Amino acid sequence: MSNAILVVGGGFSGLTAAIEAAELGHDVYIVEKSPWLGGRVAQLNKYFPKLCPPSCGLEIQFQRIRKNPRIHVLTMAEVVGLSGQKGDYNVRVAIKPRKTPPHNVDFTFLASSLDGTTPSEFDLGLSERKGLYKAMPFAYPARYVLDTDTLSKADMARLAANEKLNMDEEPREVSLQVGAIVVATGWKPYDVTNLSNLGAGSVKNCVSNMQLERLASPFGPTQGNIVRPSDGRIPHNVAFVQCAGSRDQNHLNFCSYICCMATLKHCLYLAEQHPQTEVTVFYIDLRAPGRYVKVLEKVQALPNVHFIKGKVANVEQGKDNTCVIQAEDAIRGEKLTLNYDMVVLATGMQPSLATEKLPLPVPVDSDGFITGGEEAGIYACGCALMPLDVTRSAQSGTAAALKAVQTVKGR
Amino acid sequence: MADKIGVYFDLANIGGGVDVQNLADEAAKKWGDLICLTKLLPNLAESVDEISRDIAEQGLDGVLLCGSSPRVDPERYRFPVMVDFVNLREQCVLSYKNPDGSAFIPGDQAPAALQGLALDYVQMGVAKMQKGSLPDSAAITATPRILVIGGGWTGLTAALEASSMDYDVVLVEKDRELGGAVRTMPEASPLGPLWEDKCPTNLQDKIDAVQKNSRITVYLESQMAKLEGQPGEYIAHIATKSGEKEEKIGTVILATGWVPLDQKYLAPMGLGSNPKVVTAAEFGKMLVKGEALPKRVAFVLDTTIAKDAIAKQAEEEAKAKEAAEAEQASAEAPAAEGEEAPAYVKADLESFKHLEYSNAVNSVGMLRLANTLCEKTGDASQSYILYKNMTVPGILERFYKKMQDRLGVMMTKADVTAIKDGGNGVVVECKNTLLGHDFDLEVDLVVLPTGLVPTTAKEVTVQFAYRQGPEFPDLELFDGYADSNYICFPYETRRTGVYAAGCVRQPLTLDACEVDARGAVLKAVQCLEAAGRGVAVHPRALDNSYPIFNFVRCTQCKRCTEECPFGALDDDEKGTPKPNPARCRRCGTCFGACPERVISFANYNIDQIGSMIRQVQVPADFKKDGPRVLILACENDAYPALDMAGMRRRSWSPYCRVIPVRCLGSVNAIWISDAMSKGFDGVMLLGCKYGDDYQCHFIKGSEICNRRMQNIAETLNRLGVQPERVEQLEVAIDEYDKVPDMIDGFVRRIVALGPNPFKGM
């Protein structure tokens, strides 16, 4: 029997669940697949509705972790096996080698001296990263990671003599005793290559909404300047294609909750950076639930932002790396063909479990959302359960922490 | 007070050619016996055992670790004594540039300015530790009972969940029976996977479970008369039909829900005047009662008609008011002064906006009602849903899709431009529809959306017996909802131990209310246990320090009680503050306010920061050795931003010395005097954004600091110091590329001002 709790996933929901449970006095293990905590919100430039930086909220969470000896963080880690039952689980966790030591020295210069590169996962392919890297300045843990696959031969030689790196660190496995499990495996941006009518990711200067977040981020590929990836030029007119993959039975059979708000936020980014840029939003419904209505009103009042109710049928490559959109104005019944400097696909969120399996007894629906597990003492939260924004993910994580604590209390 | 300190230098993380041995020697020379040992360690991370041994063998009571920022892997260094860090990496070597502004190229020997910077930081670190001590916590015996105010869907859920945590619950409901708004709902929208089908609410089961639960005490037809005390030891005074009852409780969940928006707001659409126009809530009641049901119903989500009419009316009223005021202005007598403070008057915050904020609840609600109508009439009815935006976000799209396919429910986007009598019923005029033409829809009944007005917009729900008044602060910022600006932490109300959930916090569908209730229960239990252990809750969770008052010197000026962002301090008749440690969030705004400096924390106090300021070596020759600028940086956003600037090799003037503070609210004016008398030429206060879109972690701290700047300026003027020498600047955590320029700009302004007139005196 154990009163410890396992949290699978170190994004915002998982962090919240873990910290809230630990502050109630429970030992908590966070198992995060990537090298750092923070999940998708770490990639965002600002949160709607107040346009505040996500790293501010993450910093609070990280401070709470730093101060709490009950929280055990395992990064580059994945659950690979489970035995036992509710209240008394044994979880096997595989940990990949980070190859840099805890409390590591500053590797900035060493990293910049390397020449091997690979497309940055964190910047969604908009930049290249080195083999020794730290994806974000507020990273937790504040450590680099060494990905030897990306090193060139010369890099290998450069690093061979460095005694601060553990080039030969091996993968390892640990086992944890826990009484309950919170699953917070979150989401990923829907793969645009599935959207063949929208250019399938091949039209230059047609980016996804998450890529736009990276372009707007001060530590993104352009230091926060929203420009065309092809030539670094300020776009004079930009189109947003809402529901790119969402609300579509051939792709995501649900509404992704955040994309309307994300686009409204992006309109505000553009209005601030490039007040002259003309923006058109093609939408089915503008979903600004609750008090978010205020953001919708604010954006609707912007002189350079226009809204067209209608679905975009096609995005194609135009002259001079422009993007050509074919759409229908549903109100006027008109077919439109329009040219834009840049197009942003408001791609939806797909639950991570749509394409990955967890070795845990949790049922998922045809879209990959978790539909049960409670009877086994396994509680899903955040976007593993349904598409949510950050506030509701935090609520969901807190609620899941309660259910997990109810399961293990008194043990 | 630490009196046996070990100072450790992490050679792996200092670099820059800094002469570390010299730092160690100078510190040892200065502090004598206070410093038991100094060690230069090749790699601090590998020396944890060695430090533990030193603590045991040498009886150290403080460990000062000089190297990287305290934000880098501090959890490796958990020792049973005071532990602190001196940031010689991010905010010293990595962010250093030469006094002439040229870039620093690290070599074998650090330039004098860098060596001096590092030495100042080490000496400041020792001073800080010398003036600090490990706090004893202010633990209390917490009453293990949770008060839930409101017996609707959220409150019932909260009561049951809290009892499942083995806590007793007191449930207070205003009405004669439990259930709240759900009693008038024939059915619920989907409450769980697969989120496609409406659900029975099974409300009675929930009510029965509460009533049969021996841990839950229910008060019906009751309201809060008063809540006094602090988390863990609150006393709830409950006004019941048989008089006032007192209950000891630990923490509170506010689930008082909503009241329907006054029908006057929808009068322009016929509500109130046309019996064939009702709200969704009223239509729900009709369905529950099983009244004779209409055949053709228009569910109108587009309320532009009402919005425009209300806006026009408001404009006219404003004009009339202006005219009236102009007339009265001359005749008006000044208000009498010196009278007793008037009783608290609750502002009514209800407005048309509440209808707009209820958009998702109504979009989902209309689908649900249309479906129930079809079912109840055996598909003999026809429903039309007319919307501008169908706000069915997220997974509930599946329910929407199912309803789109349902026979008997027709939906279109439409601008509803008029609702008027016609034929045997009502005619709804529809324009800009998806059908390619405008049309008039003749129906038997029009159903308009219901505005969910949070109870906190209309009445005082909790009745705090607090010095700062009976109500939550700043409700108007959130249109009356019991909420905050925190996006990442939904349960902040600024009244510690009171957690709002459900529609009193924001309009939510029933599934979301349940989730919210669970979250609030967790927070309520957590706060109760924190009070029992004497530690803080979010954001300084587990902090066991708390403000200690030296009442002998208190002049009852009441500033601390007025300024505390969380209303933690009450006062007695004379005005002496009465601390409530379990309400306190440990931001230090109280001691920032105190002109007599009677408030302190064991590990954070006025004298401590003052001592750090006095440790800085201020050169006498301003021209030759440059100015000195003190930066008091908020540790929540500004300090991490400086760290990240350093990591990114952004550099700022080497004349600056940074001291982190818990919040700008904790900055006491005496520190500025300390700095000026020490010879500093400028003081920069670097903190979070304030105002309506505040990012301050303690909500009001940076704003309060800004208000105090006026007094500080006056004081400086009196002393003959230009007030421009002190500036407050706002920085967000991600402005790491901007903050060095902000600092350098300030230093340039100081250089232009010339030396502080007190320098060298």
Residue at token pair 């159903």: B447
Strands B82-87 and B62-67: parallel
pLDDT in tens, A285-305: 999 999 999 999 999 999 999
Contacts of B78 in chain A (CB under 8 A): 69
* Residue B483 pLDDT exceeds 90: yes
Distance from CA of B744 to the nearest CA of A (A): 20
Task: Let me know whether B412 and B269 are in one domain.
Answer: yes
**How would DSSP label each residue in A43-59?**
G-S-BTTTTB-HHHHHH
**Domain stops at, among A324, A347, A370:** A347
Chain A residue with minimal CA distance to B74?
Answer: A66
User: Can you tell me the distance from the alpha carbon of B746 to that of B658, in angstroms, rounded to the nearest whole number?
Assistant: 14
Task: Let me know whether B285 and B235 are in one domain.
Answer: no
Task: Let me know whether B212 and B309 are in one domain.
Answer: no
Chain B residue with minimal CA distance to A381?
Answer: B515
pLDDT at B760: 77
Number of H helices, E strands in chain B: 20, 30
Check if the beta carbon of residue A389 is closer than 8 Å to that of residue A14: no
Confidence grade of residue A110 (pLDDT, cut at 50, 70, 90): very high
Cis amide bond preceding B547, omega within 30: no
pLDDT in tens, B632-656: 999 999 999 999 999 999 999 999 9
**Domain stops at, among B134, B154, B175:** B134
Q: Do B357 and A290 touch (CB under 8 A)?
A: yes
User: Does residue A103 sit within a domain?
Assistant: no
Enclosing domain of residue A117: 108-160
Average pLDDT over residues B276-305: 95
Task: Let me know whether B361 and B304 are in one domain.
Answer: yes
Task: Let me know whether A138 and A235 are in one domain.
Answer: no
User: Does residue B753 sit within a domain?
Assistant: yes
Task: Let me know whether A284 and A333 are in one domain.
Answer: yes
Residue B586 Rama label (left phi>0; alpha psi -120 to 50; beta): left
Task: Let me know whether A72 and A30 are in one domain.
Answer: yes
Q: In CATH, what number is assigned to the domain containing residue B370? A: 3.50.50.60
Task: Let me know whether A240 and A92 are in one domain.
Answer: no
3-state secondary structure of B608: helix
User: Does residue B183 sit within a domain?
Assistant: yes
User: Can you tell me the distance from the alpha carbon of B70 to that of B83, in angstroms, rounded to the nearest whole number?
Assistant: 10
* A/B interface, count of CB pairs below 8 Å: 240
Task: Let me know whether A36 and A178 are in one domain.
Answer: yes
User: Can you tell me the distance from the alpha carbon of B313 to that of B412, in angstroms, rounded to the nearest whole number?
Assistant: 30
Q: Do B526 and A23 touch (CB under 8 A)?
A: yes
Question: Which of A24, A58, A390 lies at the smallest CB-CB distance from B526?
Answer: A24
ipTM of the complex: 0.97
Task: Let me know whether B68 and B96 are in one domain.
Answer: yes
Note whether A334 contacts B: Cβ–Cβ < 8 A.
Answer: no
Enclosing domain of residue B60: 1-134
Task: Let me know whether B175 and B64 are in one domain.
Answer: no
B741 Cβ neighbours under 8 A, 6+ residues apart = none
Task: Let me know whether A134 and A182 are in one domain.
Answer: no
Task: Let me know whether B58 and B22 are in one domain.
Answer: yes
**Count of domains for chain A:** 3
User: Does residue B538 sit within a domain?
Assistant: no
Task: Let me know whether A89 and A115 are in one domain.
Answer: no
Q: In CATH, what number is assigned to the domain containing residue A377? A: 3.50.50.60
Task: Let me know whether B216 and B78 are in one domain.
Answer: no
Joined together, the tokens standing for residue B221 give 């037809």
* Residue B538 pLDDT exceeds 60: yes
Task: Let me know whether A198 and A325 are in one domain.
Answer: yes
**Domain stops at, among B445, B474, B496:** B445
* Residue B333 pLDDT exceeds 80: no
User: Can you tell me the distance from the alpha carbon of B222 to that of A265, in angstroms, rounded to the nearest whole number?
Assistant: 44
* Residue B354 pLDDT exceeds 70: yes
Task: Let me know whether B558 and B634 are in one domain.
Answer: no
pLDDT in tens, B98-140: 999 999 999 999 999 999 999 999 999 999 999 999 999 889 9
pLDDT at B339: 54
Chain B residue with minimal CA distance to A23?
Answer: B526
User: Does residue A390 sit within a domain?
Assistant: yes
User: Can you tell me the distance from the alpha carbon of B461 to that of B455, in angstroms, rounded to the nearest whole number?
Assistant: 7
pLDDT at B407: 92
Residue type present at position B562: E
User: Does residue B334 sit within a domain?
Assistant: no
Average pLDDT over residues A299-325: 97
Contacts of B541 in chain A (CB under 8 A): 19, 23, 64, 67-68
User: Does residue B346 sit within a domain?
Assistant: no
Distance from CA of A271 to the nearest CA of B (A): 18
A153 Cβ neighbours under 8 A, 6+ residues apart = none
User: Does residue B343 sit within a domain?
Assistant: no
Task: Let me know whether A130 and A254 are in one domain.
Answer: no
DSSP at B243: E
Task: Let me know whether A40 and A156 are in one domain.
Answer: no
Task: Let me know whether A32 and A48 are in one domain.
Answer: yes
Contacts of A399 in chain B (CB under 8 A): 515-516, 518-519, 522
Task: Let me know whether B292 and B315 are in one domain.
Answer: yes
Distance from CA of A393 to the nearest CA of B (A): 9
Check if the beta carbon of residue A393 is closer than 8 Å to that of residue A16: yes
Distance from CA of A331 to the nearest CA of B (A): 6
pLDDT in tens, B3-14: 999 999 999 999
User: Does residue A165 sit within a domain?
Assistant: no
User: Can you tell me the distance from the alpha carbon of B401 to that of B391, in angstroms, rounded to the nearest whole number?
Assistant: 13
Q: Which residues pair with B419 in a beta bridge?
A: B428
**How would DSSP label each residue in B188-202?**
BSP-STT--S-B---
Q: What are all long-range contacts of B603-608, with beta carbons under 8 Å and residues at least 24 apart?
A: B603/B82, B603/B132, B603/B133, B603/B134, B603/B135, B603/B545, B604/B132, B604/B545, B604/B662, B604/B666, B605/B131, B605/B132, B606/B668, B606/B670, B606/B671, B607/B131, B608/B127, B608/B128, B608/B131, B608/B132
Task: Let me know whether B35 and B115 are in one domain.
Answer: yes
**Count of domains for chain B:** 5
Check if the beta carbon of residue B379 is closer than 8 Å to that of residue B361: no
User: Does residue B421 sit within a domain?
Assistant: yes
Instruction: Give the CA-trace dihedral at B352, B357, B361, B367, to 10 degrees.
Output: 70
Average pLDDT over residues B575-587: 96
**Domain stops at, among A309, A332, A347:** A347
Residue B601 φ then ψ, to 5°:
-110, 150
User: Can you tell me the distance from the alpha carbon of A37 to that of A14, in angstroms, rounded to the nearest whole number?
Assistant: 9
User: Does residue A166 sit within a domain?
Assistant: no
Q: In CATH, what number is assigned to the domain containing residue B107? A: 3.40.50
* Residue B435 pLDDT exceeds 70: yes
Q: In CATH, what number is assigned to the domain containing residue B570? A: 3.30.70.20
Tell me how far CA of residue A331 lies from CA of A89, A213, B405, in angstroms: 57, 31, 22
Can you say how many angstroms the Cα of residue B463 is from the centroid of all Cα atoms in its chain? 20
User: Can you tell me the distance from the alpha carbon of B361 to that of A395, in angstroms, rounded to the nearest whole number?
Assistant: 18
Residues 268-327 of A with CB under 8 A from B: 285-291, 293, 309
Residue at token pair 């131990």: B497
* Residue A168 pLDDT exceeds 60: yes
Q: Do A386 and B695 touch (CB under 8 A)?
A: no
CA-nearest of B649, B733, B741 to B695 is: B733
User: Does residue B330 sit within a domain?
Assistant: no
pLDDT in tens, B340-351: 666 889 999 999
Task: Let me know whether A85 and A133 are in one domain.
Answer: no
Residue type present at position B672: I
Task: Let me know whether B101 and B198 are in one domain.
Answer: no
